[in-house]
Amino acid sequence: MSDCVIEVNALKKSFGGRPALNGLDLRVPAGSIFGFLGRNGAGKTTTIKTLMGMIRADSGAVRLFGADAGEPAPNIAARQRIGFVTEDKDLYPYMTVEQIVRFTRPFFPQWRDDLERRYLKMFDLPLKRKVSDLSKGTRSKLMLLLAICHGAELLILDEPTDGLDPAAIEDVLRELVAIAASQGTTIFFSSHQLPEVEQIAESICIIDKGRAIVSGVLDDLKQYYQRFQIVLEHELPTSMRWVDGVEHVRQEGRTISILASRNADAVEGQIASLPGATVERYPVGLKEIFLEHVRSDENALV
Amino acid sequence: MLWYKAWLETRWRALFLLTIILFVVAQIHSHSKTANATVTLLHGLEFIWIVNAMSLAGSGIRTDSPFRVLKGIQGSMYFTLSLPMSRLRLLATRAAFGLFEIAAVIIIGCCIAGLAAPELRAQVTLADAIGYAVATFLSCSAVFGISTMFATFLDQQWQIFASMFAIFGGSWIVSQITGSHFDLLPAMSTASPLETHVMPWAAVSASVGICVTCLLAAWQIEKVRQY
């Protein structure tokens, strides 16, 4: 049996002939905190909606907890074990906080009253206030409470900290890490806030134009990815063929910037063989990896 | 708890329709000295029963705005769809509760009419009144089914237009084609037990058939609908 909670293989989905997912592959290990990154329109929400059974893929496979989740019945069974926070954080606006908690509780037999009390207090949620009167940040907290309290084995969170103030973001991130550590809950979350992802995610996937372009354990990626800054005395040979692992080469005058995703030593060796080249090697953060892969660059050579 | 959600979303609508019925009953009371109270009742209430059924059909499995358009109605549908239950259960609960509310409004409306207008009690037997309520409810089920089906793929404003067109426009078109007056819901008007003193079984069976067909169609649409 697979130890992945989410497995997505060659997933394709088009809307009106425009591809939203274009052969997406994704594996989320059980118990991990997994960051799902991409630009607006990259296919993140479409992926999440497919996982939640809201839309049906054109082709490919979706497995949740090892079972095919592309069909309604197994998807419903999987949703029993999933806590979900939507992108818009919209809940029934006419219900009070107390009513929506009371409404949600019976759907989940594993509902944790202790967690409910804890998060009501921690998030300072006003029980008698209507959802329509709550700020987006407070609705985010309420949705997190509803997602967490039913003892979910998998949390799917679409921009979970959207609308929260910095202090609340820290609280939420700390709680997510604590939940993953103490209960073994898998957390799959999409975010545009790269520092947050870098702070808590163990693994990441960067999606662009409906395909996964970078995927792996974040620490490994940060170890493998290296940037080389080269200053050349002479022109770069036009027939230059870079070794395997070079992702992007950008040239501005005599200065060349190279991003390598692996084989950093081999890349450095190749650079060192260039006559009169001075090289500096830098570690690369998630933000740089993300931007290098999703941003088009007119100075790029590779 | 889906019943609770449906109740919170539709209770003001049901109450508003009951208020209108009260107003119509008051009109019956004031006009009954010069006109046939039962005929006035029929003509006064038929349209309201149709609006009642259409209104309580709501938005299918989507979230309904309970009183006024509120921010977040559309987005909260995703929360509903994330809950561990089938779309069939969502639709069936919504439909069952809607039909229950229609029945409740009709029964309460008829009771209010009987209590508030003594002239009606003098002209209508209890059996005819019960027959009228049953025939009205079953006729309304057709309207409810049509409106529920449109709700599965149309926004609320277009759902109402489409339902109106299907019920009134459809009858008019059939009348034009056949050259004779066609009434989609005769059990509430010309064939009502208040007029004929017999239950219009053929008419109400047709209405129930339309309701079942439309609800099955709604279910098939929901199965493939993408959100």
Give the distance from residue A50's alpha carbon to the nearest chain B alpha carbon, in angstroms: 10
pTM of the model: 0.86
Is the model's pLDDT at B119 over the cut of 90?
Answer: no
- The structure tokens listed for A56 are 């049906």
- Predicted confidence at residue A96, as pLDDT, reads 95
CB contact under 8 A, A72 and B86: yes
Cβ–Cβ pairs < 8 A, chains A and B: 83
CB contact under 8 A, A76 and B226: no
Mean pLDDT of chain A, nearest integer: 90
- Predicted confidence at residue B24, as pLDDT, reads 79
CATH architecture of A225-294: 2-Layer Sandwich (3.30)
Over residues A251-256, mean pLDDT: 84
What ipTM, to 2 d.p.?
Answer: 0.87
Give the distance from residue A288's alpha carbon to the nearest chain B alpha carbon, in angstroms: 33
**In chain A, what are the domain boundaries?**
4-220, 225-294
CB-CB neighbours of A233 under 10 Å: 10
- Predicted confidence at residue A200, as pLDDT, reads 94
The Cα A59–Cα A70 span in angstroms is: 10
Phi-psi region of A263 (alpha: psi -120 to 50; beta: other; left: phi over 0): left
A256 band by pLDDT with thresholds 50, 70 and 90: confident
CB contact under 8 A, A55 and B227: yes
Is the model's pLDDT at B69 over the cut of 70?
Answer: no
What range does the domain containing B185 cover? 2-224
Is the model's pLDDT at B220 over the cut of 90?
Answer: yes
- Predicted confidence at residue A42, as pLDDT, reads 93
Is the model's pLDDT at A1 over the cut of 60?
Answer: no
Q: Is A49 on the interface with B (CB under 8 A)?
A: yes
A7 band by pLDDT with thresholds 50, 70 and 90: very high
Mean pLDDT of chain B, nearest integer: 85
A271-279 contacts: CB < 8 A, separation 24 or more? Answer: A271/A228, A271/A230, A274/A230, A274/A232, A274/A236, A275/A233, A275/A234, A276/A232, A276/A233, A276/A234, A277/A230, A277/A231, A277/A232, A277/A233, A278/A230, A278/A231, A279/A228, A279/A229, A279/A230
CB contact under 8 A, B8 and A56: no
Residues B131-163 pLDDT 10s: 999 999 999 999 999 999 999 998 878 888 999
Give the distance from residue A118's alpha carbon to the nearest chain B alpha carbon, in angstroms: 22
Burial pattern A97-119, b for ≥16 Cβ within 10 A else e, equals bebbbebbbebbeebbeebbeeb
Over residues A123-146, mean pLDDT: 92
Domain count, chain B: 1
Residues B36-55 pLDDT 10s: 666 666 667 888 889 889 88
Identity of the residue numbered A199: Q
Is the model's pLDDT at A8 over the cut of 90?
Answer: yes
A203 band by pLDDT with thresholds 50, 70 and 90: very high
Phi-psi region of A210 (alpha: psi -120 to 50; beta: other; left: phi over 0): left
Over residues B51-63, mean pLDDT: 82
- Predicted confidence at residue A243, as pLDDT, reads 83
Over residues B86-113, mean pLDDT: 92
CB contact under 8 A, A90 and B74: yes
Window B:56-95, CB contacts with A under 8 Å: 63, 66-67, 70-76, 78-79, 81-87
Task: Check if CATH label 3.30.70.3270 holds for domain A4-220.
Answer: no
CB contact under 8 A, B1 and A103: yes
Over residues B191-213, mean pLDDT: 89
Identity of the residue numbered A72: P
Q: Among B11, B76, B222, pick the best mutation site for testing chain A contact (most A Cβ within 10 A).
A: B76
